[in-house]
Structure 1
């Protein structure tokens, strides 16, 4: 079994607790030991600047990226994934891929130089905002429910030119459709579920799911319990309803997982940390055929990144 997880906040945990050891820590959901135990092929690590930080800016973005290099990539089992073909190389070497993403562009401060800098440092997926408004866009909890700003529209074009994958998780629905109109390339929702199954504004409507399907993007079903079930404490089997719903729309091939481990105040029962993926795989195997399960856990994300990551010029 191989696994690709499209979202975790382990770097933010390390920012808040610099003493945390990525190899094995009771304070992290995603650790090296758990990635090895779960059969991880690649973990995506989000640069997310917590509101608990004082006036987070570009320095804090760099500090978070520095933790990625000094704490995560310092382990010889980990391999930095930046370009097409590198995941296959990592697997051939028996290593686990690690990709940098950016959750909210607040710290880039609308500066194209900062965007180019984080690209050079390895950021390959970017979500414009978190739950609230910033200089680029409104998040889903912003009362005015606006879309992209003028600078946000320019930013989308700049990401397109660099080959950065855009992520619509946390973006308002208006912002979603504006981004879809601006961007001809496939985009992702790294950690979102189906609105019709769990009616939380962070989840995706049927029309949004179909739009991602139609351009062959990807959706990472998340383990955030209130996005799995809004009526009661969520359990692992509740994810099956989201899988079945998206599959019923012809979107089975666009589904993967985006756990949001290390970003959760509460957990879905049975999915408390990265070491729980084998149990999830067993559940999926009881309900779906082998090819479909392999797609959910690994293959759908792998094929997407293989074609969507930039090609190295070196």
Structure 2
């Protein structure tokens, strides 16, 4: 049997739960897919799929097997793409995953120029705060807060991820300017909802980090929504400096420098990083994208 082809069929079946869709993806009859899977199960002496007239789903062992073979299949695909594209001009589908706020405010504005420079590259953008496993997920480049997860992932720092308290001049004129972190409890706050929870406002005390409890005016997982609310005078926001610097410079927002630093986590994420697999950088479409994004977004430390 052609075990590699069977593994590709099985991986697609695991994702699509459909013999018909898998057959169409590989342009073969559904009966061919069924025979390959049966041969693979016979070889492994394990049932990988539960079949019924209504659905196809993985067995418990099938799900485990799928997770184990996926990185290997991905590496094989990368190796083939590398060989095919090594001498070619940048082209093909390029998958980029970025945090929503950073993607919208910083990444999206430069992509029109990128597409004009490399018209044969099709951009597939995915904005999410969820962590991305570059060795498992079909993502070429990711932009996230934090360091590289392992030595096979390259992390290029684009900017710091320092959070600052800010409010509009109109809000401060109406409610007054807080001078200490305790004053914040008398103000309205605009809060960001992360993937798992609403981000707290923390301050360092002798006994450890403690949460502040200003009255919440608005909660959103969309950074631009919070930014607009802050500019409209609805409350005080704690947002990344890279997202508010332009408004601070133009005066539509004012930075609040209090007696103590306020954070969203005890250990501050030290930067926004461009992440990619070391091997993939040799593929032209990935290489030019990494270089372009770094050139346009990487900030020289002050």
Shared fold, TM over 0.5: no
Larger Rg: 2
- Say which structure is richer in strand: 2
